[in-house]
């Protein structure tokens, strides 16, 4: 009887808590799910506790001995996965019944995307508006971890962002790339210097480096060069500003520096060692049947970026 009462009162709050529970289970712990959910450990822990209270079950063991699902938690996870799949299929099914696409697409972007000449997102939007003129777009700029988390929790339908790590719960469709270099700016001691033949670690050790405060595609390069952050940022515009001050080194996309002065203000360093391309992908949450609006928008993105 208690179970029936819970099912009858199942609402949006419960669905959100269940989605958090699925991510925590997939990450095998509350701390490990911070990046995926983009919320703090204390908040995640409170969400799990709230869910346990609402269900009247202990779902997981968490403490000094580590994280593990209880037998009840294992069963609830299976039921939750089935439930969320059914919700997605219901929404997609209703959408498919409608002859005309309508509603809203919630689309996330990483900052500076519009400045990249390889990005044809504007062309994709143009094509989508031709195919689905009754669908409105909600576009938001955010950090990599926030975009992923919002796709996972259902706040976004689709996002375009650089691939820096992959999640088994997401689908990645690569559409374009960005060329990255280590830069300094006018006024920096290394500006205009030919670094060919020099040792990167020795040359760069005495200079301040600005980098992202989260895991990103440039982590491999910064670790290779032994660079330690003297300043932390959350977006590329802030990073460009620090480099532009002439006091910091930073890894930026070529398209970013071209839009704010190019070689007259910025100077690439150790291009033979540091230059690399970052793939950008359209990401969606894995589901048995994709939302028709999101599927159509994804097709437009793929077509716009076709060779």
Question: Does 103 have pLDDT greater than 60?
Answer: yes
Residue bearing tokens 């970013």: 256
Show the domains of the chain with their CATH numbers.
Answer: 2-96 (1.10.10.10), 103-176+279-304 (3.40.190.10), 177-277 (3.40.190.290)
Which percentage of the chain shows pLDDT scores above 90? Answer: 45
pLDDT for residue 98: 63
Mean pLDDT score, 184-196: 94
Question: Does 210 have pLDDT greater than 90?
Answer: yes
Alpha-carbon distances, residue 289 vs 90, 95, 147, 172 (angstroms): 9, 11, 21, 16
Confidence class of residue 127 from pLDDT cuts 50, 70 and 90? very high
Alpha-carbon distances, residue 274 vs 62, 113, 154, 225, 247 (angstroms): 41, 21, 36, 9, 20
The pLDDT tens digits for 214-238 are: 777 777 788 888 888 999 988 888 9
Q: Smallest Cα–Cα separation from 142: which of 89, 61, 214, 199?
A: 214
Residue bearing tokens 């589901």: 287
* Helix-helix angle 71-97:12-27, to 10 degrees: 120
First-to-final CA distance of the chain: 59
Question: Does 163 have pLDDT greater than 80?
Answer: yes
pTM: 0.65
The total number of residues shown for the chain amounts to 307
Question: Does 299 have pLDDT greater than 70?
Answer: yes
Question: Does 160 have pLDDT greater than 90?
Answer: yes
pLDDT for residue 1: 35
Distance CA 174, CA 298 (A): 11
pLDDT for residue 280: 93
Query: What contacts 291, CB < 8 A, 6 or more positions away?
Result: 88, 91, 92, 95, 157
pLDDT for residue 227: 87
Q: Smallest Cα–Cα separation from 156: which of 288, 293, 299, 5?
A: 293
The pLDDT tens digits for 73-99 are: 999 999 988 888 788 777 766 766 666
The pLDDT tens digits for 1-46 are: 344 445 456 788 888 899 999 989 888 888 888 877 878 889 999 9
Mean pLDDT score, 247-253: 94
- DSSP strands (E only) in the chain: 60-61, 68-69, 103-109, 135-141, 158-162, 170-185, 209-212, 229-233, 250-253, 266-269, 276-285
């Amino acid at each position: 009887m208690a179970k029936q009462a819970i099912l009858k009162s199942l609402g949006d709050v419960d669905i959100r808590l269940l989605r958090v529970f699925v991510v925590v289970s997939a990450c095998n712990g509350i701390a490990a799910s911070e990046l995926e959910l983009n919320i703090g450990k204390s908040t995640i822990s409170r969400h799990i506790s709230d869910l346990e209270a609402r269900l009247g079950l202990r779902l997981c063991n968490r403490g000094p001995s580590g994280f593990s699902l209880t037998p009840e938690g294992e069963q609830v996870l299976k039921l939750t996965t089935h439930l969320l799949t059914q919700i997605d299929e219901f929404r997609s099914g209703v959408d498919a019944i409608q002859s005309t696409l309508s509603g809203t697409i919630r689309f996330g972007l990483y900052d500076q995307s519009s400045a990249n000449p390889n990005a044809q997102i504007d062309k994709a939007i143009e094509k989508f508006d031709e195919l689905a003129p009754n669908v409105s777009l909600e576009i938001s700029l955010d950090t990599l971890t926030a975009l992923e988390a919002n796709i996972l929790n259902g706040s976004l339908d689709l996002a375009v962002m650089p691939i820096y790590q992959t999640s088994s719960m997401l689908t990645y469709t690569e559409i374009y790339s960005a060329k990255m270099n280590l830069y300094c700016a006018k006024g920096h001691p290394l500006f205009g210097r030919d670094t060919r033949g020099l040792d990167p670690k020795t040359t760069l050790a005495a200079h301040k480096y600005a980098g992202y405060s989260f895991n990103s595609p440039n982590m491999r390069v910064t670790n290779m060069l032994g660079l330690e952050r003297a300043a932390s940022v959350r977006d590329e515009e802030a990073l460009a500003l620090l480099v532009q001050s002439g006091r910091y080194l930073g890894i930026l996309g070529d398209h970013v520096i071209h839009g704010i002065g190019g070689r007259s203000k910025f100077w690439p360093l150790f291009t033979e060692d540091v230059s690399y391309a970052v793939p950008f992908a359209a990401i969606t949450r894995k589901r048995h049947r994709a939302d028709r609006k999101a599927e159509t928008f994804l097709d437009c993105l793929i077509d716009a970026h076709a060779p």
